[in-house]
Amino acid sequence: MPATQRMNLPTTLVMVLFHLGAVAALFLFSWSAFFAAVFLYWLCVGQGISMGYHRLLTHRSYKVPRLLEYLFAVCGALTLEGGPISWVATHRIHHQNSDQPGDPHSPRDGAWWAHVGWILYGETNHNNTRVMSKYAPDLARQPFYVWLNNYHWVPMLPLGLLLFAIGGLPMMLWGICLRVVVGLHATWLVNSATHMWGRRRFATRDDSRNNWWVALLTFGEGWHNNHHAHPTSARHGLAWYEFDPTWITIRLLRRLGIAKAVHAARVTSPLPGRETAASSRPAAIGLEPSAVGAGR
């Protein structure tokens, strides 16, 4: 842990309750609840986080109509990973200071810290829309994103009620608690596992690695060394054998004329100068709002 900080009790309590609900779901199995959870996992983690929060809102790897962009953002909020402004700001800071002082979740501060400790003990600015907006001014200019960041938990309420109405407690526990917990840990593995285990195709200035099993859990986000080498690329699985469902979806949307201005790197794409490994890199990078870009 980078520094001794107090546990964020409200966040910790919510996490404990959701994990307890996930365990309870295992004792209330039904195929309908299982398939509902699988569908929602794809919708929220695949479309909401991978396509929406990450490749679209954080890095602007492609463009889609505004209403579809907002739909992706709502799906992202259903993961319980916070609102779009806070998520995007945190990830941009991560790219600015990856595996250096100032990185919110580097395994160099401990594997547990990188995975979940930074959530339970880190600064609570992720709940502060005003502060985090400094690092995501493009989103902060849109009232919808400000509202969704302030009330990112609201979409979960009607979804929970709908699942309960359809399939009772089992479907609600599977579609909300278990699905959220699995999604959280899958996303956190990108912060922890893919900076510790896997192969490095590119000599980036951080510890990012390509990890196939994290990629399977996160719709292609595990090809993390590729991503850190080419942050604005909508394609993370650069080799033919690197399965990247999110890129397949973006490519389909491009063929349909829905996705435009799609940036896609290749295995042979040169490494941008800013991303090359450099032992002379300063120990810390200033976090002035103007300096924190979309991982560029």
Q: What is the DSSP string of 162-210?
A: HHHHHHHHHHHIIIIIIHHHHHHHHHHHHHTGGGTSSB-SS-BSS---B
> Which letter does DSSP use for residue 133 in this model?
G
- Beta bridge partners, 63, equal 260
271: confidence class by pLDDT, cuts 50, 70, 90: confident
Nearest Cα neighbor of 262 from 230, 216, 291 is 230
Residue 279 has pLDDT above 60, yes or no: no
Give percent of the chain with pLDDT exceeding 90. 84
How would residue 180 be classed by pLDDT, with cut points 50, 70 and 90?
very high
Is residue 281 scored above 60 in pLDDT? no
pLDDT, tens digit, 9 for 90 and up, residues 142-158: 999 999 999 999 999 99
Q: How confident is the model at residue 293 (pLDDT cuts 50, 70, 90)?
A: very low
**pLDDT tier at 272, thresholds 50, 70, 90:** confident
125-134 long-range Cβ contacts below 8 angstroms, 24+ apart: 125/86, 126/82, 126/86, 126/90, 127/82, 127/86, 128/86, 129/83, 129/85, 129/86, 132/85, 132/86, 132/89, 132/90, 133/85, 133/89, 134/89, 134/289, 134/292
- Tell me which amino acid residue 263 is: H
Q: With 80 as the cut, is the pLDDT of residue 3 above it? A: no
Q: How many whole angstroms separate alpha carbon 232 and alpha carbon 54?
A: 10
Domain regions of the chain by residue span: 9-272
